């Protein structure tokens, strides 16, 4: 049975790194945030931290907290028939429930965590979509309060501490991947 790994965590924790590793292992990536960006581009909305937050929250108010999973479900179903899939950035508890109902035996959540100051420094220095510390704090709060992000983080199957070296991070990741592959 093909595996679906949802990588969850706060911004700057290192989710994209794990998703890149999984892609190198042959997993096909589905980027949840891409739905927001595509819809914003269709509507000619400038992409800024504030506009992303507003758009994301309005989309969920209008269509429910599981809207992104509902939009992506056909793509995830199709890809999972062909091979393993990594979900980059599942946000809400409702998204998790939708996916778990559809994929009860082959969906695994891996949570990446790191101290806030480490995350904020990473976010400020990243090439794509850098945020100031203030914007990162606002995003954290908005994601917790308005996107129900805490549920998937709290209920993850596996956790990876990303406060140390890349080598330690990678080693822990591959141990978890081995466990998932055994299931």
pLDDT at 29: 97
Q: CA 54 to CA 46: how far, in whole Å?
A: 12
Residue 15 has pLDDT above 80, yes or no: yes
Residue 96 has pLDDT above 90, yes or no: yes
Q: How far is CA 91 from the centre of its chain?
A: 6
pLDDT at 150: 93
pLDDT at 57: 85
For residue range 34-90, list pLDDT tens digits in order.
Answer: 888 898 999 999 988 788 888 988 998 999 999 999 999 999 999 999 999 999 988
pLDDT at 170: 97
Q: CA 166 to CA 174: how far, in whole Å?
A: 12
Residue 149 has pLDDT above 80, yes or no: yes
Fold of 4-182: Rossmann fold (3.40.50)
In the chain, what percentage of residues exceed pLDDT 70?
100
Mean pLDDT of the 112-141 span: 92
CA 117, 123, 125, 127: dihedral to nearest 10 degrees? 170
> Under DSSP, is residue 30 helix (H, G, I), strand (E, B) or coil?
strand
pLDDT at 53: 80
Mean pLDDT of the chain: 93
Mean pLDDT of the 133-157 span: 91
Confidence at 165, pLDDT banded by 50, 70, 90: very high
pLDDT at 142: 86
Write down the pTM of the prediction. Answer: 0.90
Confidence at 91, pLDDT banded by 50, 70, 90: confident
Residue 94 has pLDDT above 90, yes or no: yes
φ, ψ at 112 (rounded to 5°): -105, 130
């Amino acid at each position: 049975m093909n595996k679906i790994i949802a990588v969850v965590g706060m911004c700057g924790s290192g989710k994209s790194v794990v998703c890149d590793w999984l892609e190198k292992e042959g997993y096909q990536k589905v980027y949840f945030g891409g739905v927001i960006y595509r819809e914003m581009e269709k509507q000619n909305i400038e992409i800024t931290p504030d506009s992303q937050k507003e758009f994301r929250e309005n989309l969920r108010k209008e269509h429910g907290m599981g809207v992104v999973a509902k939009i992506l479900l056909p793509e995830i179903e199709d890809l999972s028939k062909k091979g393993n899939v990594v979900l980059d950035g599942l946000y809400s508890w409702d998204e998790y429930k939708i996916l778990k109902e559809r994929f009860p035996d082959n969906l695994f959540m891996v949570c990446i965590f790191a101290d806030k100051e480490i995350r904020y420094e990473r976010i400020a220095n990243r090439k794509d979509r850098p945020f100031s510390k203030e914007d990162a704090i606002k995003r954290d709060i908005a994601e917790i309060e308005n996107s129900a992000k805490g549920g998937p983080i709290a209920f993850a199957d596996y956790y990876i501490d990303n406060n140390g070296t890349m080598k330690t991070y990678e080693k822990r990741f591959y141990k978890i991947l081995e466990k998932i592959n055994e299931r």
